[in-house]
Each structure stands twice: as structure tokens, then as C-alpha cells.
Amino acid sequence: MAHIDDPETQKANLQYIRQSMNEPLLEKDHELDLARRWRDENDEKALHELVRSYTRLVVAAASKFKNYGLPIGDLIQEGNVGLMQAASRFEPERDIRFSTYATWWIRSAMQDYILRNWSIVRTGTTAAQKSLFFNMRRLRAQIEAKTREENLTDDGRQEIADELNVSMKDVQDMEMRLSGGDQSLNAKIGEDGDDDWQSLLPDERVNPEDVVVGMKDSQTRSQWLQEALGELSDREQKIIKDRHLGYDTVTLEDLGKELGVSKERVRQLEQRAMGKLKTSLSRHSEDISAMFE
């Protein structure tokens, strides 16, 4: 839905637009002279004259993006930021007009603003997705006019995907995004309904009771394991801890070198110690398989 400014804001915007369109155009040599004075001498007066003369570019770009439902004044502000960025990066030696260079920066600043504010859901993250967002409506209208179809077909979606070098799924997702705006979860269902959309959303979080029970069970199992480890010899405890309870598993060969026994002997000791642990833990619970996964 398009944004409608209040009368005072509309008046201020109109005044700014008129002022911008009345700024005198610059001759190429004077334009380059202003750019050099700003870059080399930090001449703010030259910067202001250069920027003021091309605010008409900002107004023109903002008018092209007005159908995205955002305030025209905000678009102009963002465009002016892009214009200032262009002035700070412009290189007069490249022998191109400042207007040509600045147009890209102005459009880029406005597009970034639209992507950030058009929806509360992040819209485009890659260059291809941004291109899809800003070209989808135009290409769809062209295809529908050519095919005389009221709705986009899969062939049409594939044509857009090929044109913009994106996947068919990207086109389908963007089509769905553009077909409907954001909706508050607190909006009521029906004109006379008492329930809102939020009340229909399932809570997929873990039940608090299950969390508490799980924490208690975990503490209990940890206590059982510590008691069972206490029944092992020092060497058996080391093997179990290094092989099963540490962040990094120690190999049988490395343990054998440390303990002064063969790799096969470590394996035998490990099996014997595991058997003792299972016997000890089975006294507390019949199902102890989860503790040895």
C-alpha cells in the first residue's frame, strides 16, 4: 500500500522538488573544476554547488521508486546520501560527467533503503536477488502482455529466471513475497472476531516441565556415572575418560604408549571397564543404552 504524507510534509516535499528542478545546470568544465576544488582543496563551497546542481537527479530517481509504498521524502534523503558519496569518490580525470557517475550511487542508496524498509522480512541479500526484486514486476508485465495471460505461468517464470540469472525457486519465492504485504500477528480474524492470528501459531518450544525433568534426569545420570567410575581402577578410569568422556578421543595407540602397554592391551582394558560400568549403572536403570551412544 502506498504511503500518504500529511499535508505539511507534502508541502515541504513539493518545495524541495521545485527548488531542485530550478537549480542551474553546470557546464562540463565548471563541473570538473568544482570536483577538483573539493577533492584537492577541501572546498566546501564547491561541494555544495556541485551537489545542489544535481539534486534533480535524486528527485527523478525517487519518482521512479515511489510505487514501493515508502515516503518520497525518505527516498530523497537516501538519494542525497548517495549523491554525497558520489561527490566524495568522483575522479575528474576519468573524463565522464558527474551526473553519469552520481546516478549509480543515487539509485544504489535508494534500492538499499527500499530493501531494508519495504518489508519487516529481509528481502534481498545477493546482487541477483536484488535485481529480481526490482525487475520482477516489469518483466512479469511484459510477459503477460506478450502471452495475454492474466497470471504468470511456469514458462514465464523460467523466462524471468533466465533473464536475471536466478533459479526458478528464487522467482517463485519473490512472486509470493510481492503478492502480499506484511500483516500484523495481532490483527483480528474476521471483522467481529476476538481471536488474532498469533493465537493460531503453534508453540514449538520445549515444554518447561520437560526442560526441568530433563535437567534433573541429566544430573541424576551424571551422579550415577561418577559412582560407577569410582568402582574402576585408576588405569581403567583414565582409559574411559580419554576414550569416551573427553572432547577429543585419544587413540588406543597413544594411550598404549602413555600407559606402557600394547594397543591390544588397551582395547582389552577398555572392554573390561565398559562392562563394569554397564553392570554398575544397570543397578539404577534397566535402560542405560542412551548413556553409551
Tally of structural domains, the chain? 3
Residue 186: inside a domain: no
Give residue-wise pLDDT tens across range 123-158: 555 677 777 777 777 787 788 788 777 777 888 888
* Residue 148 and residue 218 in one domain: no
* Residue 134 and residue 162 in one domain: yes
- For residue 120, pLDDT beyond 50: no
Residue 203: inside a domain: no
Residue 201: inside a domain: no
Supply the CATH number for residue 226's domain: 1.10.10.10
* Residue 244 and residue 135 in one domain: no
Q: How would you write 88-157 as a 3-class SS string?
A: HHCCHHHCCCHHHHHHHHHHHHHHHHHHHHCCCCCCCCCHHHHHHHHHHHHHHHHHHHHHCCCCCCHHHH
- pLDDT for the residue numbered 288: 54
* Residue 29 and residue 91 in one domain: yes
Q: Which long-range contacts (CB under 8 A, 24 or more apart) does 171-176 make?
A: 171/132, 171/136, 174/129, 174/132, 174/133, 174/136, 175/136, 175/140
* Residue 1 and residue 114 in one domain: yes
Residue 227: inside a domain: yes
* Residue 103 and residue 212 in one domain: no
- pLDDT for the residue numbered 102: 93
Supply the CATH number for residue 78's domain: 1.20.120.1810
Provide the β-strand partners of residue 196: 188
> Average of pLDDT values for 107-131?
73
- For residue 212, pLDDT beyond 60: no
* Residue 170 and residue 273 in one domain: no
> Average of pLDDT values for 61-73?
86
- For residue 119, pLDDT beyond 70: no
Residue 220: inside a domain: yes
Residue 52: inside a domain: yes
Residue 198: inside a domain: no
Task: Return the sign of the alpha-carbon dihedral for residues 211, 216, 218, 219.
Answer: positive
Question: What's the CA gap between 99 and 31, in Å, rounded?
Answer: 10
* Residue 45 and residue 65 in one domain: yes
- For residue 258, pLDDT beyond 90: no
- For residue 275, pLDDT beyond 70: yes
Residue 148: is it exposed, middle or buried by C-beta count within 10 angstroms (0-12/13-18/19+)?
Answer: exposed
> Average of pLDDT values for 239-268?
85
pLDDT band of residue 193 (cuts 50, 70, 90) is low
* Residue 5 and residue 58 in one domain: yes
pLDDT band of residue 202 (cuts 50, 70, 90) is low
- For residue 220, pLDDT beyond 90: no
Helix (H) or strand (E) run with residue 252 in it:
helix 252-259
Question: What's the CA gap between 105 and 79, in Å, rounded?
Answer: 8
Q: Which of 118, 147, 171 is the last residue of a domain?
A: 118
Q: What domain range is 74 assigned to?
A: 1-118
